[in-house]
């Protein structure tokens, strides 16, 4: 299977890091199944950009945190393809508040979209991926392993995501399916602007980042592209950190 002939599914692929991944994977001959929650305008814009690079794009709106919605997504995909080569889980959702103030609903939303969705998406993809193998990549964050103020709901769900990646990597290796994750530092996206005291966070991040700048979505998309390439075939169950060196301190 040539990289140019791949069938790729990307959750949360129309904004931020997901958008950058979509555009990095867009090329002649590639078919992309592009999932998003509800922003039709952004989805159509990214679809147009990806198609200008030669990709065939199918939009699949739906909440990947809802198992029934995931079933419907794969049912629709099954009408268009009988194989899937790549699954990328980039969708993320959560609230910014102290853990002690989280509502059960806040907790459930983060775990459902950020962690459980990787499980249900993988289960949906397996019939399309098992016969020939493939690559699965999930997007995590540094909050999975270190305290970040007001980030508990998301950080905890990302920790669950990273452990799930390890289990899936072992269980699916015999089917020639590689499962890995990419974790970024502070990435300059629209979501960052929603974080409490985001300007102060940026200043602190820059003080201790050898790379000397904030990350951008393309930084993460490049690492994802590497994990999808044959050069990464000996990597199983890892979370690759791309944070400009922030986590070294």
CA distance 76 to 48: 21
Strand partners, 179: 136
Catalytic residues: 151, 158
In contact, 31 and 56? CB cutoff 8 Å: yes
What distances in angstroms separate CA 175 from CA 19, 102, 151, 169, 172, one per listed residue? Answer: 29, 39, 36, 10, 5
The H or E element that residue 221 is part of is: helix 217-228
CA distance 227 to 136: 9
CA distance 121 to 179: 13
The H or E element that residue 167 is part of is: helix 152-172
Q: What six digits make up the tokens of 142?
A: 């540094």
Q: What six digits make up the tokens of 34?
A: 């592009």
DSSP per-residue string spanning 65-110: TSHHHHHHHHHHHHTT-S---EEEE-------S-GGG--HHHHHHH
């Amino acid at each position: 299977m040539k990289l140019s002939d791949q069938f790729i599914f990307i959750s949360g692929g129309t904004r931020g890091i997901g958008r950058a991944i979509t555009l990095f994977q867009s090329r002649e001959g590639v078919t992309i199944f592009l999932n998003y929650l509800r922003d039709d305008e952004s989805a159509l814009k990214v679809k147009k950009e990806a198609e200008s690079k030669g990709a065939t794009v199918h939009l699949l709106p739906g909440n990947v945190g809802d198992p029934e919605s995931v079933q419907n997504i794969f049912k629709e995909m099954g009408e268009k393809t009988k194989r899937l080569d790549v699954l990328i889980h980039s969708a993320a959702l959560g609230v910014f508040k102290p853990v002690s103030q989280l509502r059960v609903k806040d907790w459930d939303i983060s775990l459902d979209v950020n962690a459980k969705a990787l499980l249900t998406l993988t289960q949906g993809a397996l019939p399309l991926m098992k016969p020939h193998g493939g690559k699965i990549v999930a997007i995590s964050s540094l909050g999975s392993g270190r305290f970040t103020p007001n980030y508990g709901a998301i950080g905890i769900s990302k920790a669950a995501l990273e452990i799930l990646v390890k289990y899936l990597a072992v269980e699916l290796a015999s089917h020639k399916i590689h499962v890995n994750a990419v974790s970024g530092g502070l990435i300059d996206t629209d979501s960052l602007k929603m974080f409490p005291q985001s300007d102060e966070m940026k200043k602190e991040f820059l003080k201790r980042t050898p790379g000397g700048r904030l990350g951008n979505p393309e930084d993460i998309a490049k690492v994802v592209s590497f994990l999808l390439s044959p050069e990464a075939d000996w990597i199983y169950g890892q979370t690759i950190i791309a944070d400009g060196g922030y986590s070294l301190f």
